[in-house]
Structure 1
Amino acid sequence: MSTRILPAVGDADAARSVTTLLSQLPEAEPAGPVGDSTSLLDTLARLAAESLDELPEVVLVHERIGPVPALELIREVALRFPSVGVVLVTADASPGLYSAAMDSGARGLVGLPLSYEELAQRVQAAASWSVGVRRHLGQGGDVFTGPGGTVVTVSGAKGGVGATLTAVQLALAARASGMNTALADMDLQSGDVASYLDVQFRRSIVDLAGIQDISPRVLQDALFSHPTGIGLLLAPGEGERGEEVSDRSVRQIVSALRNRYDVVVVDCGTQMNGANAAAIEMADITLLVTTPDVVAVRAAKRMVRLWDRLQIRKAEETVTLVNRFIRNTEIQPPLVERITGTRVARTVVPANFKELQAAVDAGRMQDLESKSTVKQALWGLAGELGIVKPPEGNEKAGRFRNDRGSIGMRRRRGGRSGFEGES
């Protein structure tokens, strides 16, 4: 029986060396190497979507892979695709790294420079393990399987622009359409998702921060099952505890949520830290909320440039939502698009707080009336983003995720608006 091997190697010279040796292994079917962590996960997800049997038996992860570090990448592959044997290729063969690799879910470690005998031994062992797992895994309920759902992060350009309300309504819209939906509050110091949905809670995201392997059962224990059917992962009641949530733990948490739910909406708040930066980097769709005023749009521009400098998200991969829109304002969506360099959603949310006030004051955003123009706009946005089930026969969904290059509003020149000279 042949062994399918997918190497993930960021360095071109190392990729050639690995590919050459793999081609010499008996009964090996090495695929072309992928050059970064995103390509690896996308490739595995695509294969798993066709059939779990299409997944390779072995994945080789080189130590110089990026942007996700090798050990974190191994952990995510092991969590999302538990029947794939992962082998780490590294120059550091110390007991400490070996132990860390095993804890992350690796099935073996190959030292550099590569040795044919060692590579063959580790690949064969990982392949045998993979075949055994696939034979006995079945449909057990305590493992994650499949390519996972869509992750949408919602960030505010500045405080008070409506990011949390937007995140809540997107999650409600997805759930109402029949999508299995989770809403995670990663505004770790001042999250208000619980206040918007009338929730009293004991557990929070902090309860998952120190766990090495988040199984479905562990994840379920940390989630609050809301009466609407949404699974809520809430920010801690004590803001200072947010510091316990690292970027590494967020990667594990988001991966676990992605593999349990069709749609995962993450409220990232307005402040940047390692935790929500990791969520934004992993997201399929990144939404940035602003209002049509000079201060907020300038804040949106700063946020986008920050993400770009930190290599978290490119401007053209970000969708901007204009909230509290007034038709006669000087700052129109095309101007916001030009200033921020992002793609502005076709949907705009009208300025109509009177519709919201009763639901906000009661802390029951799920009770917002269907005739509310704000609700209608935000649920329309959910359809535009492709996170609701489209009506039968209508396949126009998921455009921002799957057709990134084709979305964009025609740009028109704006009037005098306080942005003279900016681009």
Structure 2
Amino acid sequence: MPTRILPAVGDADAVRALTTLLSQLPDAEPVAPVGDSTQLVDTLARLAAESVDELPEVVVVHERIGPVPALELVHEVALRFPAVGVILVTTDVGPGLFQAAMDAGARGLVTLPLSYEELAHRVQAVAQWSVGVRRHLGHGADVFTGAGGTVVTVSGAKGGVGTTLTAVQLALAAQASGRPTALVDLDLQTGDVASYLDVQFRRSVVDLAAITDISPRILAEAVFRHDSGVALLLAPAEGERGEEVTDRAARQIVSALRSRYEVVVVDCGAQLGGAGATVVELADTALLVTTPDVVAVRGAKRAVRMWDRLQIRKAEETTVVVNRHTRTTEIQPPLIQRITGTAVAATTIPANFRELQAAVDAGRVHDLDGKGAVRQALWALAAELGLVKAPETALERRGGRGRDRGAGGLRRRKE
């Protein structure tokens, strides 16, 4: 079968040189080149929406692509379309760029000026890798073949504000609506997802930390399938082992989950380490949970400012969720929005611990009363974020074009 190769080049002369060589490669099928980063991502997303098999095996990104820099584009493609092998064409042959390209997700580099032998060898190797990945995906169960699942991180302004409860309920709501969902406990030292869901499982996120190429089979062995259908990737039982989950490992783990699940919810806890910061940076939606009191709101403001200083995420790209809200409290969502400079979710979570206590104490928060105010609010939040699949209308079931009645989710960053 011919290898489909999609060149992404922003320079006319470079386009001619690259496409001429690609057309000479054996068993190669170059497709029409794209001229900028936006066109590349849009093209891949359109193909992936049909089927993962419609995607080209190889994408060749030239260093003079724009407007997004080449390394950032490589990173975006590798995360959103993990079955596509990316080759970076560059004049820089130094070890620094090589390492940066590998960290971004490239499968190889080809140096300028172009050499037929080097290009042919690299394209063949990357194409074989892509075919192997697709073979694994095709044999796995519950494979999500869209343009990459939605990643939502849930962080706490401080401990005890309801971060884990929020993450768990968002995942349950997404799964219940028919979207394959994974819940990751990245609160590596003090994660409580297993306790909240009454789960005992010896595997954890640490088991994936040292694996450089996470296959669907390896991933399936590390996750626990909860009775609700949510796939759980738990924090380690020994908190000190959390240090084994590096920034790079976190990126690879979330990328692997994103390729197989339509929704990935990550509980980052209240103490953000390197792994959590990496996931917050790449997330489509980053939530920061706070309660409407002075200490928690100050904590939220500190977290937002820290994320901005460290270039993890800008304030306007963060959404604050107000938990334990009452109408009588002095601190209301509009004030929190002004203090933090973030967006604030329209859905607030009411203060009603009595509704939660029995389920939390029993470790069965998945059994919360569906008519309870807290559970209803959390599932409404999932709908607001676009995590819940809209129910099929009668017109759509008859094959007509029904009106899209899904809740308006937050737009993905960088789209």
Query: What is the SS of the residue equivalent to 1:299?
Result: helix
* Contact 1:247–1:275, Cα closer than 8 Å, also in 2: yes
* Contact 1:6–1:56, Cα closer than 8 Å, also in 2: no
Distance between the aligned counterparts of 2:368 and 2:193, measured in 1?
15
* Contact 1:152–1:264, Cα closer than 8 Å, also in 2: yes
* Contact 1:206–1:241, Cα closer than 8 Å, also in 2: yes
* Contact 1:3–1:127, Cα closer than 8 Å, also in 2: no
* Contact 1:19–1:33, Cα closer than 8 Å, also in 2: no
Structure 2 vs 1, CA of residues 134 and 265 (structure 1 numbering), >3 Å: closer, same or farther?
Answer: closer
Deviations 1:253-285 (A, max 9, x none): 111111211211110101111101111122111
Distance between the aligned counterparts of 2:285 and 2:76, measured in 1?
20
Deviations 1:144-172 (A, max 9, x none): 85423211111111111111010111111
| 2:18 is aligned with 1:22 | yes
Mean CA deviation greater in 26-35 or 118-127: 118-127
Distance between the aligned counterparts of 1:157 and 1:138, measured in 2?
38
Structure 2 vs 1, CA of residues 6 and 144 (structure 1 numbering), >3 Å: closer, same or farther?
Answer: farther
TM-score, scaled relative to structure 1: 0.80
Partner of 1:419: none
Structure 2 vs 1, CA of residues 122 and 390 (structure 1 numbering), >3 Å: closer, same or farther?
Answer: same
Partner of 1:324: 324
Q: Which amino acid aligns with 1:349?
A: I
Structure 2: any 5+ residue segments left out of the alignment? 24-29, 64-68, 394-402
| 2:123 is aligned with 1:114 | no
Query: What is the SS of the residue equivalent to 1:303?
Result: helix
* Contact 1:225–1:232, Cα closer than 8 Å, also in 2: yes
Partner of 1:32: 35
Distance between the aligned counterparts of 1:249 and 1:134, measured in 2?
19
TM-score, scaled relative to structure 2: 0.81
Distance between the aligned counterparts of 1:261 and 1:76, measured in 2?
13
* Contact 1:58–1:130, Cα closer than 8 Å, also in 2: no
Structure 2 matches for 1:358-373, cutoff 5 A? 358-373=358-373
1:307 Cα shift? Answer: 1.6
Partner of 1:402: 411
1:351 Cα shift? Answer: 0.8
1:133 Cα shift? Answer: 7.0
Q: Which amino acid aligns with 1:334?
A: P
1:334 Cα shift? Answer: 1.1
Distance between the aligned counterparts of 1:381 and 1:224, measured in 2?
25
* Contact 2:3–2:56, Cα closer than 8 Å, also in 1: no
1:129 Cα shift? Answer: 5.1
Query: What is the SS of the residue equivalent to 2:328?
Result: coil
Query: What is the SS of the residue equivalent to 1:336?
Result: helix
Deviations 1:288-316 (A, max 9, x none): 11111122112112211222222222222
Structure 2 matches for 1:19-418, cutoff 5 A? 19=15, 21-25=17-21, 27=23, 28=30, 29-34=32-37, 44-52=44-52, 54-61=54-61, 65-67=70-72, 76=79, 80-82=81-83, 84-90=84-90, 91-92=92-93, 106=107, 108-111=108-111, 113-115=112-114, 117=116, 121=120, 125=124, 139-141=138-140, 145-393=145-393, 395-397=404-406, 399-402=408-411
Structure 2 vs 1, CA of residues 285 and 135 (structure 1 numbering), >3 Å: closer, same or farther?
Answer: closer
Structure 2 vs 1, CA of residues 252 and 395 (structure 1 numbering), >3 Å: closer, same or farther?
Answer: same
1:21 Cα shift? Answer: 2.9
Identity %: 59
Query: What's the RMSD between the two structures over aligned residues?
Result: 3.6
Q: Which amino acid aligns with 1:34?
A: S
Structure 1: any 5+ residue segments left out of the alignment? 406-423
Distance between the aligned counterparts of 1:48 and 1:382, measured in 2?
25
Q: Which amino acid aligns with 2:374?
A: V
Mean CA deviation greater in 278-287 or 343-352: 278-287
Distance between the aligned counterparts of 2:212 and 2:58, measured in 1?
22
